[in-house]
Structure 1
Amino acid sequence: MKKLTLQMLAKMAGVGVATVDRVLNDRGGVSPETVRKVLQVAREAGLKRQLPEAYRQPWQIEVFLSGNASFFFQRLTRDFSAIASQLGYQRLTLHRTCIPESQPEKLAQAIVESSQKRDGLIVFGHDYAAIHQALAYCQAAGVPVITIVTDIPDASRLCHVGINQYQAGRTAGLLMSKTAVTGEVIMISGRTDYLAHRQRIEGFREAVTARAPHIRLREVLTGEDRRERIRGLLDDALRHAEEVAGIYNTGLGNSEITSVLQRHGLPGNCTFITHELYSLTRTLLCDDVVSFTLDQNAPQHARLAVDLMLRHLETGYQPEMYSDGKVALNIVTAENLD
């Protein structure tokens, strides 16, 4: 049999001779995917020499999260840090970058730049053209991307990690239909250009309409995650309401909603459903102001995203788009608080 040369291996692997040389001599500077491919070709061709490990340096993973001050993203940032510490610096280095949700172009540029120096990206972003283009760039460069919390449909991504937002809305609608008395229910939406809030409202509306003929749904108050706007819209809605049976809030503003409810003498007298368990919602549950809070389970987001990324980088595993990264939704009441 002819002696294997670098040129022969390069041709079989579909890469350059210099790339094969770097891989076989463990010089670095080659993407993990290409390293795996070259080493696999070398093994299958029967190259008689000791081969380096596929990747001995810690994986470089960047996490892009929202720069807003919400409890959920503060918690998620801490959870990613804890996961990285548990796995150890020899296995991965986790880089965290927070960018305001209102700056998709800035996020897109950061994603492109990061893809040139990281092995994988975990991205929280919204359904904007600039983000789609950035993720397509990553795919072309062979850098895997996992979206987290809010899905970006049809974007180039390895998989999505998060709860089913539409299902969360339907769950809230079921709870409302079972607990609210006859009357009007007011829905308060976060930013309507964000898919998660639209899906929650859609699911809630469909579940209530199907299950609760005794409930009249008012038009959605588009709070747009602006606290004073939420306060003003809800106050005006309550002044013109006949009999308020419930409140459903998909986003921030629980403190403002509570103050308006207090002004109208409604705490404890209507079903109030919101999202995320944090210090304020915990207090409101205990004080019988909030009836249920649907928690997204931030720790599971971090664990699943990192586990799936490492599994893909280390073994080439291709996760299913949604089922592998599905996060369990927690329904919290005053009776099951930890």
Structure 2
Amino acid sequence: MDHPNVREAVRELDAANVPVLTMVSDIPNVPRIGYVGIDNRSAGRLAGHLLGRLSESKPQKVALFAGSLSYRGHEEREMGFRHILAEEFPHLQIVQLRESLDDFERGYKEAKALLEAYPEVSGIYNIGGGNRGIAQALEESGRAKEVVFGAHELTEHTRRFLLSGVIDFLIDQNPLQEARESVLALAKAARRKPIDGSTLSIRMQIVFRENISA
């Protein structure tokens, strides 16, 4: 979380010669040894590109969900998404951004309220977690086939909603690779060995129902 208290804690650890590595969501301008994760701005642009290409070429309304914009990664995804829509899909209007706090019940309530307030919404991009609640609300509304829904991470729940057609695409990252790269980087830091670059990028994978792994 990009918060002054977190930044201060990182500085205190650095002063005590304890190496700090950020994962998934970066905290820039602090004395950390590196960041391991995907390029979140590119992930947002990718989501916007996919949602735009899957939507009809006429004025339509779309909505965003975020776990929390206190996470820099979520903020970067939002920026990437907004920018590509403005550049390539200006007919798509973002009508709301709601926070789910990566929580099932909160995501469900927020999605239900969104669909009631904007029954004409044609696209949803969930930047963070809480996919199950949003997908359930969309499924119960009976509009899952009309709304393009893009999200992140292939899990037990997102797999089910992807196979049923409620979720149209997922942008997945490799948590095992993230964990492995993080351990290797910290091990190098502990031995005072140089790390190859401050950013260790994790490759993104686009998952559709047609290419989902068994």
TM-score by length of 2: 0.89
| Alpha-carbon shift at residue 147 of structure 1 (Å) | 1.4
Match of 2:36 among 148, 154, 161: 161
Give the Cα separation in 2 of the matches to 1:311 and 1:260: 46
Q: Deviations over 1:263-282 (max 9, x none)?
A: 32111222110111011111
Query: Residue 210 of structure 2: SS of its match in structure 1?
Result: coil
Partner of 1:142: 17
Q: Deviations over 1:168-201 (max 9, x none)?
A: 1111011111111242111111112222221111
Match of 2:193 among 313, 316, 319: 316
Give the Cα separation in 1 of the matches to 2:186 and 2:155: 28
1:290-309 pair list within 5 angstroms: 290-309=167-186
Asked if structure 2 preserves the Cα contact closer than 8 Å seen for 1:191 and 1:223, the reply is yes
Query: Residue 282 of structure 1: SS of its match in structure 2?
Result: helix
Give the Cα separation in 2 of the matches to 1:240 and 1:128: 32
Q: Which moved more, 1:171-180 or 1:215-224?
A: 215-224
Distance 1:128 1:236, change over 3 A: closer
Moved over 4 A (4+): none
Match of 1:224 among 101, 106, 112: 101
Give the Cα separation in 2 of the matches to 1:288 and 1:226: 22
Q: Give the residue type in structure 2 aligned to 1:127.
A: D
Asked if structure 1 preserves the Cα contact closer than 8 Å seen for 2:7 and 2:30, the reply is yes
| Alpha-carbon shift at residue 242 of structure 1 (Å) | 5.2
Give the Cα separation in 1 of the matches to 2:130 and 2:10: 32
Partner of 2:162: 285
Unaligned runs of 5+ in 1: 1-125
| Alpha-carbon shift at residue 215 of structure 1 (Å) | 1.5
- How many residue pairs end up in the alignment? 211
Q: Deviations over 1:256-310 (max 9, x none)?
A: 2222212321112221101110111111111111111111210110111122222
Distance 1:226 1:303, change over 3 A: closer
TM-score by length of 1: 0.58
Asked if structure 1 preserves the Cα contact closer than 8 Å seen for 2:107 and 2:131, the reply is no
Give the Cα separation in 1 of the matches to 2:10 and 2:196: 17
Q: Give the residue type in structure 2 aligned to 1:284.
A: F
Distance 1:236 1:318, change over 3 A: closer
Q: Give the residue type in structure 2 aligned to 1:150.
A: S
Q: Percent identity?
A: 32
Query: Residue 286 of structure 1: SS of its match in structure 2?
Result: helix
Asked if structure 2 preserves the Cα contact closer than 8 Å seen for 1:189 and 1:249, the reply is yes
Query: Residue 248 of structure 1: SS of its match in structure 2?
Result: strand
Partner of 2:50: 175
Partner of 1:152: 27
Give the Cα separation in 1 of the matches to 2:20 and 2:14: 8
Query: Residue 125 of structure 2: SS of its match in structure 1?
Result: strand
Greater length-normalized contact order (CA 8 Å, ≥ 6 residues apart): 2
- What is the alpha-carbon root mean square deviation over aligned residues? 1.8
